[in-house]
Every structure is written in C-alpha cells, then in structure tokens.
C-alpha cells in the first residue's frame, strides 16, 4: 500500500434500482451538444497526435469549448435543403510554438472537426452545410510550462474532480443501449434514421417509459404514411432492445410532438440544421448518460488535454475504477467514486480518492474495503494508461 489518500466508506442507502422514481437521459451522437463534445474530443486527439509526431510529447491544450450555432433548413418529404449553414465555433487553447517549432493547431483543428462531422452525420454535406470557425488561443504562459516531460508523472493543472458510479441500473442500460443499437443496427437498414436521437427514460416503480426523439432524414421518407411506418419500426426496435435488459413493463413513444401537419424531419439528420444550438460539456457524462439520481461531475471531459487535466482524466479513471470494483469485488450493490486533484501536485497522488460502497445485505465490509482500496491504488499507479487510451481513441468521453 502507498501513502495515497484513499478513503473507503460504507454508505447505507436505498440503491437507485429500488428507489421509486428514476430519470435517465442520453443525447445521441448527432445531438448538437454531443456533436460539440465529439468535435472537442476529436480535436484534442488530433492535436495530441500532432504534438507527439513533431516533438515526442503532448503539449498543453484544452479544446473543450466548442459551440454550435444552429442553421436553418427546409426539409420536405423526398428532399429538402439546408438554407443557412450550421456555424461551429471551436474555442480553447493550444500551444502554437515550442522550442522553435510551429504547430499548425488551427489547421489540425479544422481538419479534425470536419472529419468528425463527416463520419458522424452521414447526410451532412460538411463543405456547404457547415461553417467552422477556429478561435484557438495560445493559453496562459504558466500552463504552457506544465506540459508533459517524457518520463515524469504530470502535475495537475487545476483543482477539479472526477465522479462515477457502477453498476448501471436497468434503466440506465436501456437508455444507453437503445441509442447505440439504433445507430449500429437499425440505421444500417433504415436510412431515414437520423443520428440526432435523444432518449429520456423514466422509471416509476416497475414501469419504464422511454421518450425518444429522432431527427428523421427527409430525403428517405416518401410521405406521411411512410414517416409513420418508420416511427413504428423505431418504436418496436427500441422496445426490443429494452426488453433485453429488463422484465419490467416498457413503453416507448417516438417524436411525441408530431402532428399530421408537422413532423420531425430534417435534411441532415441533426436538429442543429434548424434551431438547436449546442455546447460542449452540456450533455452526457463520461458513461454516456445524464443521471439526476446519481452524483455527477460538471467537468467537461471532452476536449481537455489527456495528460494533466484532471477534470478529464479523473472522470474517466473514476469510471474505470467503479466498473472494476463491481466486476472484481463481491458483495457490492453500488459503488460511488470521487477523485479530487490538487493543482500543482502529481496526478497519481490526488488530494483524496473516495469510494462509497453500498453493500449487499450479507457482505463483509472489511474485505470489501481492502479490495476496493487496492483497486483504486493500482489504478492511480497506472494512471498514465488512461492518457494513452484517450490518445488512441479507445475511451469515449460522452
């Protein structure tokens, strides 16, 4: 055991699964807030790689302030047009000069933004439907110094924290998987499915109600009847996915605001084309969900630098730790992890790393405590792996 400040505490509480009301939300990949997160993270990954390629280390940057200003559009069955483009403002900081080298941070950011949009929203014509403006500043001088030296442990660039829980509740699993499976499976069969899909799940006792909004792509829909068919298809698909995760009653409602005169269709598959602005850091947390029944961090993980920004690293690490704990340690109903950094201190030595354990009725807390402490300690010792996984694109931040 090390001298790390790890606190493991037993929490006597009603687990979320047994509470009366549970609310869970997921904003899908094409939601304007998620697009901002995705762009922010894509830029950070691209910059990290560019820095490594040019000088062997990842230099300081934070690109977690992307803004999407919605465009306007005129979708119609069988076609439609984007009238005014979506405006993407990429903000943040990135080192532009280091040891005599120049870094084309804006050029890299532009390319990363467009590549991300192109592969995420299939019906978006990035060249004419989107204006990308890049306002990456240089960053303040002191932060520039805190960039990673080759073999050393980085120092935290701020006092911030990461939060996570495990395991996911049934409703959480359903909301997360409903969106993912629609994109992976149903979208391949039914081209009209837009990438901007939002799922709001409410469990009231034993009844789960899913409200789904999907920005149906107008060019693949012949008419109103066809539109209603697609809605049915989507409804059934989501219901089937849900039933894989629960035996509770599940109701699914899609595009509930529709009327025969006005349905939810788009030219591109994202509502950013016509009135929904977006901001990085305002949507899903690192586990892909928004969960008002759970403690969460307000830190935007997407776009922060993967080397010493604890607002990013600790959230991802907390999730990894929480999941490992419920996988490897028996007798745990729920675990809540919080990790708090101290600016200027090594990131593997947080100010405090706390685990709250909701034990099963019959468990031995002493055994649990030791096992949990060990998992936290090991994960902190290997914190550098998180950075590597981020740069390799293996960790999702939203």
Binding to a second copy (CB under 8 A): which residues in 172-201? 200
Residue 79 or 394 having the CB closest to a second copy:
79
Tokens for 129, please give them. Answer: 């439907």
**Which residues between 30 and 89 bind a second copy (CB under 8 A)?**
62, 65, 67, 69-72, 74, 81-85, 87, 89
Q: Does 11 bind a second copy (CB under 8 A)?
A: yes
Site track 359-388 with a second copy (rule: CB under 8 A), x = hit: ------------------------------
**Which residues between 96 and 135 bind a second copy (CB under 8 A)?**
96, 102-108, 110-111, 114, 127-129, 131-135
3-state SS assignment for residue 337: strand
- Considering only CA atoms, which of 82, 80, 105, 87 is closest in space to residue 35? 87
**Which residues between 212 and 241 bind a second copy (CB under 8 A)?**
213
Task: Please classify residue 207 by burial: count the beta carbons closer than 10 Å to its beta carbon, then call 0-12 exposed, 13-18 middle and 19+ buried.
Answer: exposed
Binder among 254, 340, 347, 357 for a second copy (CB under 8 A): 340
- Considering only CA atoms, which of 393, 35, 312 is closest in space to residue 198? 35
**Minimum distance between the CB of residue 327 and a second copy, rounded to whole angstroms?**
23
Binder among 9, 240, 327, 382 for a second copy (CB under 8 A): 9
Stated as kind and residue range, the H or E segment containing 128 is: helix 126-129
**Minimum distance between the CB of residue 388 and a second copy, rounded to whole angstroms?**
26
Q: Does 254 bind a second copy (CB under 8 A)?
A: no
Residue 215 or 391 having the CB closest to a second copy:
215
Q: Does 206 bind a second copy (CB under 8 A)?
A: no
32-55 and 384-391 helices, crossing angle to 10°: 110
Maximum alpha-carbon separation in the chain: 66
Binder among 177, 342, 379, 387 for a second copy (CB under 8 A): 342
Hunting for tokens 């909301």 — which residue is that? 175
Task: Please classify residue 372 by burial: count the beta carbons closer than 10 Å to its beta carbon, then call 0-12 exposed, 13-18 middle and 19+ buried.
Answer: buried
Per rule CB under 8 A, count of chain residues that contact a second copy: 97
Q: Does 23 bind a second copy (CB under 8 A)?
A: yes
Q: Measured in whole angstroms, how far is the alpha carbon of residue 166 from the centre of its chain?
A: 16
Q: Does 279 bind a second copy (CB under 8 A)?
A: yes
Three-class secondary structure assignment of 232-277? HHHHHHHHHHHHHHCCCEEEEEECCCCCCCCCCEECCCCHHHHCCC
Binder among 78, 79, 185, 204 for a second copy (CB under 8 A): 204
Residue 238 or 300 having the CB closest to a second copy:
300
Stretch that binds a second copy, among 169-177, 294-302, 321-329, 390-398 (CB under 8 A): 294-302
The DSSP code for 219 is: G
3-state SS assignment for residue 357: strand
Tokens for 244, please give them. Answer: 């894989």
Task: Please classify residue 152 by burial: count the beta carbons closer than 10 Å to its beta carbon, then call 0-12 exposed, 13-18 middle and 19+ buried.
Answer: exposed
Phi–psi pair at 153, nearest 5 degrees: -80, 130
Residue 188 or 362 having the CB closest to a second copy:
362
């Amino acid at each position: 055991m090390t001298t790390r400040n790890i606190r493991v505490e037993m929490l006597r509480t009603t687990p979320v699964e047994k509470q009366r009301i549970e609310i869970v939300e997921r904003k899908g990949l094409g939601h304007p807030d998620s697009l901002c997160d995705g762009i922010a993270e894509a830029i950070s990954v691209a910059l990290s790689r560019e820095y490594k390629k040019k000088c062997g280390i990842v230099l300081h940057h934070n690109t977690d302030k992307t803004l999407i200003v919605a465009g306007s559009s005129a979708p119609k069955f069988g076609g439609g047009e984007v009238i005014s483009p979506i405006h993407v403002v990429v903000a943040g900081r990135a080192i532009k000069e280091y040891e005599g080298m120049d870094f084309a941070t804006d050029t890299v950011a532009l390319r990363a933004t467009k590549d991300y949009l192109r592969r995420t929203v299939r019906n978006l014509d990035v060249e004419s439907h989107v204006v990308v403006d890049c306002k990456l500043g240089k960053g303040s001088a002191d932060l520039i110094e805190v960039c990673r030296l080759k073999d050393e442990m980085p120092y935290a660039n701020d006092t911030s924290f990461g939060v996570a829980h495990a395991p996911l509740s049934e409703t959480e699993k359903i909301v997360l998987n409903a969106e993912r499976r629609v994109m992976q499976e149903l979208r391949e069969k039914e081209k009209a499915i837009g990438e901007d899909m939002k799922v709001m799940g409410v469990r009231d006792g034993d009844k789960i109600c899913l409200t789904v909004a999907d920005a149906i792509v107008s060019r693949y829909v012949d008419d109103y009847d066809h539109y209603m068919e697609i809605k049915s298809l989507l409804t059934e698909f989501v219901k089937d996915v849900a039933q894989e995760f629960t035996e509770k009653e599940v109701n699914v409602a899609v595009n509930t605001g529709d009327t025969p005169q006005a349905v939810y269709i788009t030219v591109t598959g994202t509502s950013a084309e016509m009135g929904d602005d977006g901001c990085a850091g305002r949507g899903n947390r690192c586990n892909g969900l928004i969960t008002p029944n759970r403690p969460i961090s307000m830190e935007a993980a997407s776009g922060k630098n993967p080397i010493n920004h604890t607002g990013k690293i600790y959230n991802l690490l907390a999730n990894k730790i929480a999941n490992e704990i419920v996988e490897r340690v028996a007798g745990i109903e729920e675990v809540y992890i919080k990790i708090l950094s101290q600016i200027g201190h090594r990131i593997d030595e947080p100010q405090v790393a706390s685990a709250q354990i909701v034990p099963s009725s019959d468990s031995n807390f002493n055994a649990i405590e030791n096992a949990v402490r060990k998992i936290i300690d090991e994960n902190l010792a290997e914190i550098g792996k998180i950075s590597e996984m981020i740069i390799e694109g293996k960790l999702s931040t939203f």
